[in-house]
Every structure is written in structure tokens, then in C-alpha cells.
Structure 1
């Protein structure tokens, strides 16, 4: 076929070079292609949306299988992963510019994070090169190993599930709706397998089998898109009687902890909370860490009175604050939590704490130091400016406050994790995502975070009320779409008064979780490793063993 002929002509030109120059040329070409594969797949994600970048998956598969050894395939995967996570996560460096004395760490954060995460891709590609079977079924093995590595990335050391392949599709669009059945990891398996199915077009075997592989992948993507289009066409957005006010005070992180700014920050939140409305909101939501103080100090100060004065009797304030709790067994005699408080105005002085949710899934190096005792002993704790760790809260569960539908809090980073919210027994009516994206400024990070959080609405069939200090705050419906005119973009201070959408019926993913993903993973592994090694069992291509080129 044409791709092979073109590659053969190019290879002939390279082979005509002197031996030493030829070796370096091949090496540089492969490095460039691996980096391009990772960059392409990263740019396919929102907010970039360059979907042609999905061709990076078949390119990475080709580079892996044409490596001389599994070690060579590992480096192809690692390079692609480095490019992918550098483009997808470069915004982490922005957090280190908030405090000038930490700015020197920004280049290390921007490079070491993708270098570490790229190891997962490298291992997946090495295993694929080691076990790649005969014929086009090797596509299934590549997709299964790759997505298994991605699942591990989302769980090792509490995990970092930023931008899985399935989240390439903009949340709320047709392609994203299949996450209501298989979750974002299942959608990742479908996305990688369907696009990698193009890889056999450039390889050995009968033309018929190669074309069937590519055609099958495109048909699967078309079927997923059709499912989503039908689901959205049948979507009936209905609202409850509950009105939620999302408060976005546009407090920049670099000025938040200045003592001179404290009073103006409190006044800003209080003024926005008490802003008149056509209908008094039932619930007011402030973001994570809304005030630059701990709950232990805020609730015994005059600020609590000001907050109560801004509310109406019966209103509930959901606000994020850090808190400390005495614990003689803790190293410093106390434990610290990143918490969300449900505060009720009962018409008297101050506010009553009706419920507290403590963040369960903490950010490594941001909220706790992995292997903390060892890191402290060698002096790394002071290096990363973490005097003490936050403690993880109990297993997440909805909070229930009279007068308000049961709600599942997700604090910041927790919104990245599928399966956090009960999908059947104990299912809440909505999700509140209190986040602090101010750390990452006007970068792609907050927009990607919004896209990832919106997948939790699709998976669970629950609306999400999302509040951040600097944007993007929004009311998200159960299909992952931002409700019309219910959004505050970065750099805007204001409120959104949004009627709370009704949840859908329990979704298949809500009922079964990642069962479909694991079933697909096992099926792909079984078919590729069993059928691919038995000539004639899968007669889509000749049983010639795939061999590396170059």
C-alpha cells in the first residue's frame, strides 16, 4: 500500500548515507516522531481540540513495534509521554511563581512531573514490544497495555489521573456521552483502540486485514458518536426548586495571603453573598480555601458574624477552609484537614456547623509529602516548603443537611477521580466541586480541570455546582454541559444564581463502575495474546511474525 511504498523510498535514502550518519539520522527521526506522537495527543485535548493529534496513538504503536528491543520501545513511550504531560501539565510551574522565593523550582516541576508520568507510557510500550502478537489483533494488546498503565497512573501514590485519553472528547459533546456507560477509562480504551487500529495500514500483512482494522476503528468511533447524539437528543433538562448561588470573588493567589488583603477578601465574599436576587438562593457556595485563614480562627472572629449577616435565615453556606484538630497521636499534636463546611444561618448570632467534609484524596507534594518521614530525614520537606502534611479524610460520603438535597462534595483535585460519588445505594442528588484553580493563573490548567470535572456529571448523571476563586465557576448539567448563562469565566468577579438541575436515572457507570472497562481490558488481552499466536484463528492477515524495521 502507499504508506509502505513511501516509507520504503525514504528508508532507501537514509540507508544511502554513511554508516555513522545513518545511525544518528534514524535515532533523531525516531526521537522526533515519538515527541510528535505525545505532543499530538496532548493537543487533541481541550482547550486545544486539535483532534487530528489522535493519530499520535497509532504512531506510537508503530514506533514501539518497530523498535529493535523492548528497551528501545520503552524510550519511545517515555519520550511520547514526556511530551504529552509537558504540554498537558506545564501549568504546574505557574504555582511556583506565586511566591518569588519558590520560582527557581518552576523548571524542575515542569520537567520532573512529565518525566515521572512518562514512565507509565514507557513501560506499556516495552511490554507491547515484548508480547506483540501476529496480525491486526496486536491493536487490542497495545490499547489494553496502554490503558492499563493509564489506570495505574490514576492510582499509584493516590494517582494523578490528569487528561486520560477518554477525556480528549469535550465534556458535554456527543462523544463524551458514552462515559455514562463505561466511564472515562472505558472511553479511553475505546479511543486508543479505535485510533490505533489505523496503525496496521503501515505494516506487514494482507491489505484486506489492514483495511478491515482501520475501518473497524472508525466504525466504533462513529457508533460512540451516534450513541452520544441520541442521548443528547433525548436529554430533558429539568430543574428542582433549589437555587444555588456560586460565588467567584476573583481573588488572585499571589495577593491572597498578604495580611493587608485579608479584610478586602472577606468583604468581597460577604458582599457577593448578600447581593440581592430575584429569588433568595437556598445554598451559597464559596470555593476551596476561600479565606486566607483556618476555620479555627474564622469561626471565632467577627468575620463569622459578617458572614451570618450576609445570609438569610435558613440559607446554607458551603465553604472551603483548612482546619486543625487536636490529636495527641499526631507528630505535632494536631492533624490538619482541607475541608468543606456546611454552615446554617438560624437567625441568631454566628453560623451553626451542620456538616463537615474532609478531603480524602490529597495532592502529592501539594498537600502531603509521599514517604514523609524519609523526605523529612533527608531535608526535602524544607526544600518543598511543606512544614506539615494535611491528613486524608474518611471515605467520601454525601453530606445531608435538612432543606437541601443530599450533596457529594469534591474538593479540587478529587473531581479528577471517577467512581468517587456513590452511583446507586446512597446516591446524592448533586455534586459540589469547591476548587482553587487560582494557583495556575491564566493557563490551560483551569479549562482542562473544568473539562475533567464535567466528566463526573456524565458518569453519575448528577449536576455539578462548581465554585472557584478566579474561574471557571459554573453549573454543569447531568450530561456534562454548562447550563446556559450559568458560568463565570477567569478574571470575572460575580455570582451565578442557578436553579439546581434534576439528576438523571442511575447511569450504567453509576451502577457498575469500571466493570465494563476491566471486562474490555481482559477481553482485549485474551483475544490479542491467544488469537494472535494461532495462525488461521483470526484470518484477517497473513501469519507472518511482525518484525521491527530499523
Structure 2
């Protein structure tokens, strides 16, 4: 029973170390999990230690998914299942890592390398298997924009996870057998690594020179609650609210008129097909000034006789320009590539439909995935990479070297999750894409948090709208930094480090096994 409680505490502690909680002592959950795994009698026991810790970690980190089911009262009964089944499934990755570690754990402080490598390898898998769910990797424990987060510019958030888990796990040998000198060296190296990473980040931030382009971006936050968005009487007031915020003059007297106006994902409770074919297209054109670009997130349908319903549906972001009496001209369209399971598509759709699950989740049809993200041309602004909501969790979607854009547009809809920790955690995770690529991010959501984020992952002074606030941000677009090491090499250094950690930790035991085998032959 004590081991079960300790495993749950290890996972919950590591989760509470993440923003917005920031209880960094919770990082000790990783060395605790390492100790629980290696002291399990069997690999199965180690698996359950890892699974329990993972369940607690993802329950604390992802409980807010249940909030989405209260938007529709008919789905409220599913909230407890969503809050428990998601962490139960994600906990399997932690269980697998701990079981494999218990199977191969070497003797001595060198085992820290194996634990960190295996744990982070399974975290990488969590972000990729079945399209992945890379929510709250260990590296994102550090608040984006702070000194510790800056190492993501070199190795990405997965590389920072390896450094973080390895450094704190180096404290685990303090409790256990072995020479006192070796155990102290292990702990000292772990503390030294954290200090080095912090020093690197402090120097990088001290040398940061934030400068701005001539482009001004307006981020529109209309404070539209998801539970009221689709009521029959809401459409007109929502359209009017967005139009008024778009057309309002600059906040500061004599301020520059924005070059680009960004609305969030799914801004209006209607499809682009309906909006562009209605009188609202003229109203949109009237709100957009000459030479100004409106970037608006809307669903759209496209005829396709090969599709089950004769059409395909996309979650899209449009770049629009006004042509006066002629209405709006579509300059560019980005279709969301990485869709949300059970929210935008039903995994194993034919099977799930036959089992009746499609009716349970109230999904009459799936969205289709667009092509892999690539930058789009934005009239009146530099080329941009669009990341719609969920896509901002994924490293590597934005070209970091060849074909690199000048900024990232993150149109999101966090209104599903109300006043929970989810929207603030999403902001922190999205900000890591700025650090990794050295690109600023313009982030627009219906209810917050909307913000202009600089290339170091920091929110530009005053350029933030909290949840529940209606308003606009008129922000000059920051210049990007130079190409970052992560932008150039991606996850390759991280993957090589994983392999190196496994080899270095297992090599001594492999050599001893060979020696014993040779002795028995003689």
C-alpha cells in the first residue's frame, strides 16, 4: 500500500511542478519513481509503479478535458470517463518505461542514464504513436521564457526533458547501496547540469535584443463562451462583437492601423461556406480596411464524390482581404493537419461507428487532415506558419532552417476548457515553439489566453489578454532570432543522446557478462 501511495505522489508531484502550479520540488517525483521501479520484485511490479505514477501525472495535468463535456449537457455523463480514461491510457507509456528499466537496470550511479533515456524515449513515443499526445513533456516543466527553458533552442523540448529527468534522477543514488563517493558524485553532477542549463539560459536572455518589424498585428479576443456559442440567438451577437473589435481604431491615439487582424480558431458558429455566401461577407469586408489582412479560423466543406457524405470537411484558417463592394478575396487557406482524436475525428472510424461510439461522442462526421504544415504568404506581413490549436503542442511542425517563416500564427480555441489550468498550460506549451524556432508567435483565442510571444518564449510586455477578458491587442511583430540549433537539426541530437545513454549505461554490464561467459568456458 505504501508503494502505491508513493507512486501516486511521484506522478502528482511531477505534474504540479508544471505551470501554472510551479511547485518545482515536485520534480523529485522522477528520482522517487526510479527508486520504486528498481526496487520492484518483478518487471510487472515496476510496470504498475510506472502506470500509477503516470495516471496521477496525467490526471493532474489533463483533468480539464472533462470540462469540454459540460459544454453540452447531454455529454456531461462522459466527463468522469474522459478524466480517468485519458490518464489511464497515457500512463501505459510510463509503465512501459519503468518495466524496461527494471529489466535492464545496471548497478551503480550509471543507471541514472538508462532511466532517463528509457523514460524520455517513451515520452517521445507518447508524442508520436497514433498521432501522439505531447501534453506536458518533462522539459516543459520550466516556465517558457525563463532561463531554464532556453536550452530548448538547442535540443528542443524533448531534449530538455532528457536533461531535466536525468539531472533530477541523479539524486536517486543518494538513497541506496554503493560507495558514498559515487553517490555524491552522481548527485553533484545532476545539480551541476541544472546549474549549467540555468546559466546558459540566463546568458542567452541577457544577450537577447528584442526588436520589432514594421508589421502591426491585432489579436482579437471576443470572450465568447463555448457553452453559449451555438445557441440560436448567439450568432448575430458574436458576429457583431468580432466586427466591432476588428474595426475599432488603434488603442493609442495616433497609433498605427494593424496590418493583420487575427481571429481565433472556429471564431464564428458557422462554416466558411455559409459565412462567405451570406450578407456577413460584406460586413466582414467593410470591417477590414484597405490593405489589411484578416486571418479567421472557420470550418469549411469541399465537395468530394469519393467521401462518404459527398464532401470533406476541414478546420481551416483563411487569410482574407477586402475588395470593397466585391466582398472578400481569399489570399491563402491553411487546413489543420493534426486533428484532435474524439474531438475532430474518430479513430478507427468504421469500427467505432459500428460499435455505436460515434453517436456517443456526437460526431456526425470527421474532419479531414490537411497536408503537413508549411508557411503561407500573408499580404501586408512576412510569411507565417499557421498552427491551429492542438498543433502548437508538436515540435517540428514549423520549418526551422530552409523555408523558415518569419512568425507563427497560433489560432486556438481554449474556450472548451473554461477557467481551468488547461488554457494556461496550453500557452506555456505553445511558447516552446517560439524558443525552438526563434520565431515570434501571435496567439489568438476566443476567451484567453491571447498574447504576442517573442522568439525567446516571453510574452511581450502588456501584450496579453487573460481568460474572460474581451478586447484586442495591437502588437508590433518582433523580429525572429537567427536560426536556432534545434531549428537546424531537429530531434536528431536528442535521439542520438538517447542511444548514447543506453549504450553507456548498459556497456559495463555487457562487458561483465562476456567476462563471466569466457571464464565459464575456460
TM-score range (shorter-chain normalised) is over 0.9
For 1:22, the equivalent position in structure 2 comes to: none
Offset, 1:376: 0.8
- Residue 281 of structure 2 corresponds to residue 308 of structure 1: no
- Residue 198 of structure 2 corresponds to residue 225 of structure 1: yes
Indicate which of 13, 24, 44 corresponds to 1:51.
24
8 Å Cα contact 2:264/2:444 also seen in 1: yes
Offset, 1:304: 1.0
Offset, 1:445: 0.1
8 Å Cα contact 1:135/1:532 also seen in 2: no
Indicate which of 133, 143, 146 corresponds to 1:160.
133
Offset, 1:75: 0.3
Indicate which of 431, 436, 455 corresponds to 1:454.
431
CA distance in 1, matches of 2:217, 2:340: 28
Residue correspondence of structure 1 range 258-269 to structure 2 within 5 A: 258-269=231-242
- Listed one character per residue, the Cα deviations across residues 322-374 of structure 1 (whole Å, up to 9, x for unaligned) are 00000011111110000000001233431100000000000111111111111
For 1:433, the equivalent position in structure 2 comes to: 410
Indicate which of 246, 252, 256 corresponds to 2:225.
252
Q: Paired residues, what number? A: 511
- Residue 121 of structure 2 corresponds to residue 148 of structure 1: yes
For 2:370, the equivalent position in structure 1 comes to: 393
CA distance in 2, matches of 1:219, 1:438: 41
Indicate which of 297, 314, 318 corresponds to 1:341.
318
- Listed one character per residue, the Cα deviations across residues 448-474 of structure 1 (whole Å, up to 9, x for unaligned) are 000000000000000000000000000
Residue correspondence of structure 1 range 340-419 to structure 2 within 5 A: 340-419=317-396
Indicate which of 83, 98, 107 corresponds to 1:134.
107
For 1:242, the equivalent position in structure 2 comes to: 215
For 1:10, the equivalent position in structure 2 comes to: none
For 2:304, the equivalent position in structure 1 comes to: 327
Deviates more, 1:231-240 or 1:349-358: 349-358
8 Å Cα contact 1:96/1:102 also seen in 2: yes
Secondary structure class of the residue paired with 1:173? coil
- Residue 439 of structure 2 corresponds to residue 466 of structure 1: no
- Taking CA–CA contacts closer than 8 Å with sequence separation of 6 or more, which of the two structures ends up with the larger relative contact order? 1
Please identify runs of 4+ aligned residues in structure 1 that moved more than 6 A. Answer: none
- Residue 87 of structure 2 corresponds to residue 110 of structure 1: no
CA distance in 2, matches of 1:533, 1:196: 23
Taking structure 1 as the reference length, the TM-score comes to: 0.92
Offset, 1:127: 0.3
Residue correspondence of structure 1 range 278-317 to structure 2 within 5 A: 278-317=255-294
8 Å Cα contact 1:314/1:346 also seen in 2: no
Offset, 1:204: 1.1
8 Å Cα contact 1:134/1:533 also seen in 2: no
Residue correspondence of structure 1 range 174-189 to structure 2 within 5 A: 174-189=147-162
CA distance in 2, matches of 1:215, 1:400: 50
- Listed one character per residue, the Cα deviations across residues 57-79 of structure 1 (whole Å, up to 9, x for unaligned) are 00000000000000000000000
Indicate which of 258, 263, 270 corresponds to 2:243.
270
CA distance in 2, matches of 1:401, 1:481: 24
8 Å Cα contact 1:343/1:355 also seen in 2: yes
Residue correspondence of structure 1 range 17-166 to structure 2 within 5 A: 28-166=1-139
Offset, 1:534: 4.2
8 Å Cα contact 1:82/1:117 also seen in 2: yes
8 Å Cα contact 2:282/2:325 also seen in 1: no
8 Å Cα contact 1:475/1:483 also seen in 2: yes
CA distance in 2, matches of 1:532, 1:247: 59
CA distance in 1, matches of 2:16, 2:510: 36
Taking structure 2 as the reference length, the TM-score comes to: 0.97
Offset, 1:401: 3.0
For 1:499, the equivalent position in structure 2 comes to: 476
8 Å Cα contact 2:260/2:380 also seen in 1: no
Aligned alpha-carbon RMSD (Å)? 1.3
8 Å Cα contact 2:215/2:380 also seen in 1: no
8 Å Cα contact 1:294/1:322 also seen in 2: yes
8 Å Cα contact 1:368/1:390 also seen in 2: yes
Secondary structure class of the residue paired with 1:304? helix
Secondary structure class of the residue paired with 2:28? helix
- Listed one character per residue, the Cα deviations across residues 366-417 of structure 1 (whole Å, up to 9, x for unaligned) are 1111111111111111111111000000111100133320000000000000
Q: Which runs of 5+ in 1 are unaligned?
A: 1-27, 537-550
- Listed one character per residue, the Cα deviations across residues 68-93 of structure 1 (whole Å, up to 9, x for unaligned) are 00000000000000000000000000
CA distance in 2, matches of 1:498, 1:351: 24
Q: Which runs of 5+ in 2 are unaligned?
A: 514-522
CA distance in 2, matches of 1:403, 1:51: 43
